[in-house]
Each structure stands twice: as structure tokens, then as C-alpha cells.
Amino acid sequence: MEEPEEQPPREADTEPVVTSGASEAVPRVLPEDPQNLSDVDAFNLLLEMKLKRRRERPDLPRTVTELVAEDGSRVYVVGTAHFSDDSKRDVVKTIREVQPDVVVVELCQYRVSMLKMDERTLLREAKEISLEKLQQAVRQNGVASGLMQMLLLKVSAHITEQLGVAPGGEFREAFKEASRVPFCKFHLGDRPIPVTFKRAIAALSFWQKVKLAWGLCFLSDPISKDDVERCKQKDLLEQMMAEMVGEFPDLHRTIVSERDVYLTYMLRQAARRLELPRASDAEPRKCVPSVVVGVVGMGHVPGIEKNWTTDLNIQEIMTVPPPSASGRVSRLAVKAAALGLLGYGVYWTGRRAASLLLALPAARHCLQRLSHAWPHK
């Protein structure tokens, strides 16, 4: 009778648990029956699996910038080009290498729907700028800000049509990869888009708004995928915006610089020490530094680095200034012009329809019969 082969010890029972930033390895002994695991033991087992996958010296893409918080927490900022396949691969590799506790993306609650939409639907939605979208933008942001948002969507639609690639692919990859990491939270890190557009419009004079709108309306330069990859060091959409707003420093401040501050603040909020679960209240509290992955456009990375160690006041950049006198006058002028055009259109259409109707033989015959039947004085 053959003797049974000796089974090697289980890896989870013998290998130490290494927590991020800890210098000591803590051996863990697990019960033989997995069904007898307490909630704390189950949490610790999953945490152990996660930490074993986390690389001490991760092999990261060159588009990743590492930042360290005061408490030792680490933030890996992946600078992306929003239409680049390489950026999607960079995001996936970074999350798999560092096994983060939090993933922060450059999205707000008004754009979160793109995370769960398929590529085909997104590609169609990005190319189409409908009256319904315009009405929604105006309801959310007001007339001027809504029109500005639609013009910027036109820029995005132009790139989408040229490349045949839906925007935000790196954010969808980050969302999918974060769901595969145990205990990983997913945060929206961008300032709400209505605030950004309202502050941007308020920063421009009337003629600056007209000039910017004119430039956005007639943007039609061809773009290739090679152009996108060459812009890996500076996001393509933000580079195009930077070229257009170079003479509008206030617009660049509200759309880029202020969002740099907001993104930095959200990344710092995410990079806080984690408290490990305790088997009982008598057990001492134990906290470990966290690991965060940020996914942002490449154009925001220098600003995040610059603001990382400075005191930030986001209340100031979250307020919407009241409309100026010139803004109120311009809005009234736009509404008056729209009503005037509408009234003229109705008048012209009615007059044209009446002339065509009267030109018909049947209409002439009816008029002649009415004239004969009408009593003459």
C-alpha cells in the first residue's frame, strides 16, 4: 500500500503579512475550517492576499508620478491622454502593480455615467450633439455656460470623429480594475462641471466670449492617432484648449489651474492612514499608510505636483460669482435677438405660405366667387 505524499504547508499559513510602510512581518495563523472565520479573520485574510500582490518596488509606466503624504501614504498619479489606448494600459498596469486602497479619477457626478456605458454607445453619444443635450446643458449651467459646454463638447466630438475612439477609456479601465482589488474604494475627484463652466464664463468679457465661441465653432483640423501618442506628455484635448485660451489667461485659470487645486485636494483626502479592524475593543488600534492611484489628464500632473505640499483653500474655487452688469446685458441681448429672429421667422414663413396658397388656381377661384357673392354698395 502506497504511503500518501506529504502535502506542503499552505502558503497563507506560513508566509508573513507585510503591511505597506511597516518594517516588521506579522505571521498569521488561520483556523483549519474556513467557515469558522470571524469577520475580522476574513478581512485580514483578504487584506493579506491583497498585500501579497502589492509590489514593494512596483514596475510603473513612465507616465506615473509618485507623491508621498506626510503620514507615509503614497499616491501614484497616472497622467493620461483621454483618447489613448496606451493610457488605458498604463492605468491597468499601475493598479495591478500597487493594489491601491483608493482609486481617484478626473470625473465628477455629472459625468459618472460614462463609467458604465459600452464603447459603442459612448462613441455614438460623443459624436452626436442634439437639441436635448443643449437643453440639458442650459438647464444645468445657464444659457451662457450651457452654450460654452456644448462648444467644448463639439471639440470632443471632433476628436472622437477623427479618431473613432470614445473618450474616457482610461476611467472605465480604472473602474473595472478597482472592482477587482479587495477593499478598494473608487472616488470621483473632479470639480462639478457646472461650477467650472459658470466660473469660466464669469471670468470672460463679452467680446472674449464671442471670440472664444468663434474659435470653437470653426475648429476642424485633422487629428491622427500618432498625434495623440505624441501628445502623451500633454493631453491632446487640454493642449488644444491651451492653444485656444493662450490669450484668455482667466479661462485657463478656471478650467485648468483651479481644477489642479481641486484634484490635489481630493487626492490628499484619499491618502489617509487606514485603521485595521480589531478583534475586540481591548485590542490596540493599528493604522497603516494607504496607497492611492489617481487617474488624471497629463496636463494636470504638473499642477498637482506644484500644489501637493501647499495649503489649499477649495471654498474659494467652489463659489460662483454673481453675473456682472455686462453679463446681464449680454444675456438680455441674446434673448432679444433670439426672440427677434423667431418672430421674423414666423412672419416670413407665414407670408411665404400665404403667397403660395393664394397662387393656387383653386384659391383664386374661391376668392372670385366670394367677391361676386359679396354685396356691393
Residues 159, 65, single domain; the answer is: yes
Do residues 236 and 354 both lie within one domain?
A: no
Q: Kindly state whether residue 18 falls inside one of the protein's structural domains.
A: no
| Number of separate domains in the chain | 2
Give the helix, strand, coil percentages of the chain, each rounded to 5. Answer: 55, 10, 35
| Residue 307 falls inside a structural domain | yes
Q: What is the pLDDT of residue 239?
A: 59
Residue 256 identity (one-letter amino acid)? V
Question: Does residue 190 form part of some domain?
Answer: yes
> Is residue 16 one of the residues assigned to a domain?
no
Residues 64 and 203 in one domain: yes
**199 and 342 within one domain:** no
Q: CB neighbours (10 Å) of residue 26?
A: 12
Same domain, yes or no, for 222 and 360? no
Residue 264 and residue 342 in one domain:
no
| Same domain membership, residue 156 and residue 76 | yes
**Separation CA 95–CA 101 (nearest Å):** 10
Question: Of all helices (H) and strands (E), which one includes residue 212?
Answer: helix 206-217
- 316 and 357 part of one domain: no
Report if pTM > 0.85: no
Residue 307 domain boundaries: 52-321
* Res 293: pLDDT: 98
What DSSP string describes 287-340?
EE--EEEEEEEGGGHHHHHHHTTS---HHHHH--PPPPHHHHHHHHHHHHHHHH
Same domain membership, residue 103 and residue 149: yes
Kindly state whether residues 300 and 349 are assigned to the same domain.
no
Does 26 fall in a domain? no
Distance in Å from the first CA to the final CA of the chain = 134
The Cβ-side half-sphere exposure at 84, using a 13 Å CA radius, reads 26
What cell does 291 get? 496607497
How far is it, in rounded angstroms, from Cα 209 to Cα 211? 5
Which residues, at least 6 apart from 40, have a Cβ–Cβ distance to it below 8 Å?
277, 278, 279
**343 and 304 in a common domain:** no
Within its chain, how far is the Cα of 191 from the centroid? 9
Mean pLDDT by 10 residues, the chain (377 residues): 43 33 40 61 75 82 95 95 87 95 94 80 64 63 62 64 75 95 94 88 78 63 61 52 64 89 97 82 85 94 95 91 60 62 68 67 67 61
Residue 298 lies in a domain: yes
* Structural domain includes residue 12: no
Written as one string, the DSSP assignment of 102-134 is: EEEES--TTSGGGGTS-HHHHHHHHH---HHHH
pLDDT in tens, 175-209: 999 999 988 999 999 999 889 888 888 887 777 77
pLDDT of residue 141: 61
| Close Cβ partners of 249 (under 8 Å, ≥ 6 residues apart) | none
Residue 301 lies in a domain: yes
CA–CA separation, 15 and 7 (whole Å): 16
Q: Write the CA distances from 307 to 67, 183, 260, integer angstroms.
A: 11, 28, 8
For residue 43, the model assigns a pLDDT of 73
Amino acid code (one letter) for 183: F
Query: Based on the domain organization, do 312 and 336 belong to the same domain?
Result: no
